[in-house]
């Protein structure tokens, strides 16, 4: 199988309410955003770029030979920052971009490749992403764990914070007695895009479902764009949202 050329863009912004200056948080002697970029560089990407909102992030990246672009500070969302980075890089409309979150220092390089490959194999899709089977009931019921339901072709029907698919006959008085079978799927927050779609995405009207669920990917579905979903066998390494997450990742890397 031929390997598609693709670019990884890592959006990084300084303003994080739960963890100030998050991209520069030290993990084993390297800023977190540099760790993320190094993981992405181990994928098959032809180019890895950090899209930063602050000169300090750019300087930290350049000190470690990571390409970084300065983007505007007033972007309302990460996809707006990605769209600006696509324009600054002069990417063509059919070029594939993989968005790796800047707080995923343990991202699997193989997963980055698979998300890019999946998009190249699904010409009808504007986006690709990933999911894995949920193996415990608390995750299925947790609104912070986003679920996805697929169609026969492996394209997303819907994403939700609610437990979907809803198992009609699987309930007791206290709620679900077990997980549905086949296992429900947890969405993993990595995305592939065609650059032309990514440039248009921030201009699309927000979907009512997107606003209700606070899930930006629902905008693509609402406007009729297909999202292909790669099923991975294992959960990704933990991301970093809080000081506790940061300590956990530091311990994992030290081990």
Q: Is the residue at 172 inside a domain?
A: no
Asked whether the beta carbons of 8 and 48 are under 8 A apart, the reply is yes
CATH of the domain at 24: 3.90.550.10
Q: Is the residue at 89 inside a domain?
A: yes
Q: Is the residue at 146 inside a domain?
A: no
Q: Is the residue at 232 inside a domain?
A: yes
Domain that residue 44 falls in: 6-129+186-254
Q: Is the residue at 120 inside a domain?
A: yes
Q: Is the residue at 113 inside a domain?
A: yes
Question: Could you report the per-residue pLDDT of 9-47, keeping only the tens digit for each?
Answer: 999 998 777 888 999 999 999 999 999 999 999 999 999
DSSP codes, 64-112: TT-EEEE--S--SSHHHHHHHHHHHHT--TT-EEEE--TT-TT--HHHH
Residues with Cβ within 8 Å of 57's Cβ and at least 6 positions away in sequence, in order, are 12, 14, 23, 24, 33, 50, 68
**d(C-alpha 27, C-alpha 206), whole Å:** 36
Beta pairing, strands 30-31 & 26-27: antiparallel
Q: Name the pLDDT band for 5 (thresholds 50, 70, 90).
A: very high
Q: Is the residue at 180 inside a domain?
A: no
pTM above 0.85, yes or no: yes
Q: Is the residue at 178 inside a domain?
A: no
Sign of the C-alpha dihedral computed for residues 240, 54, 72 and 114 taken in this order: negative
Give Rg (Cα) of the chain.
18
Total residue count of the chain as it appears in this document: 255
Residue 49 has pLDDT above 60, yes or no: yes
Question: Could you report the per-residue pLDDT of 203-251, keeping only the tens digit for each?
Answer: 999 999 999 999 999 999 999 999 999 999 988 888 898 899 999 999 9
Structural domain count of the chain: 1
């Amino acid at each position: 199988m031929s390997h598609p050329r693709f670019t990884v863009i890592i959006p990084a912004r300084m303003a994080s309410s739960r963890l100030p200056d998050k991209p520069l948080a030290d993990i084993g002697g390297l800023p977190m955003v540099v760790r993320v970029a190094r993981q992405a560089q181990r994928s098959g990407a032809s180019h890895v770029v950090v899209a930063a909102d602050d000169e300090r992030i750019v300087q930290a990246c350049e000190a470690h030979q990571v390409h970084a672009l300065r983007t505007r500070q007033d972007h309302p969302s990460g996809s707006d920052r990605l769209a600006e980075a696509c324009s600054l890089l002069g990417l063509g409309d059919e070029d594939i971009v993989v968005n790796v979150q800047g707080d995923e220092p343990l991202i699997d390089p193989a997963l980055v490749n698979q998300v890019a490959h999946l998009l190249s194999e699904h010409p009808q899709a504007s986006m690709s992403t990933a999911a894995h089977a949920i193996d415990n009931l608390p995750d299925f019921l947790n609104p912070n764990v986003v679920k996805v339901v697929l169609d026969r072709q492996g394209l997303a029907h819907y994403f939700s914070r609610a437990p979907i698919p809803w198992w009609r006959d699987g309930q007791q008085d206290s709620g679900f007695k077990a997980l549905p079978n086949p296992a429900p799927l947890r969405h993993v927050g990595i995305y592939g895009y065609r650059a032309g779609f990514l440039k248009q995405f921030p201009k699309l009207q927000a979907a009512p479902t997107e606003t209700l669920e606070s899930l930006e990917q629902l905008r693509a579905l609402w406007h009729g764009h297909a999202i292909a979903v790669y099923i991975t066998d294992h959960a990704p390494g933990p991301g970093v949202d809080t000081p506790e997450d940061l300590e956990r990742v530091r311990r994992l890397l030290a081990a």
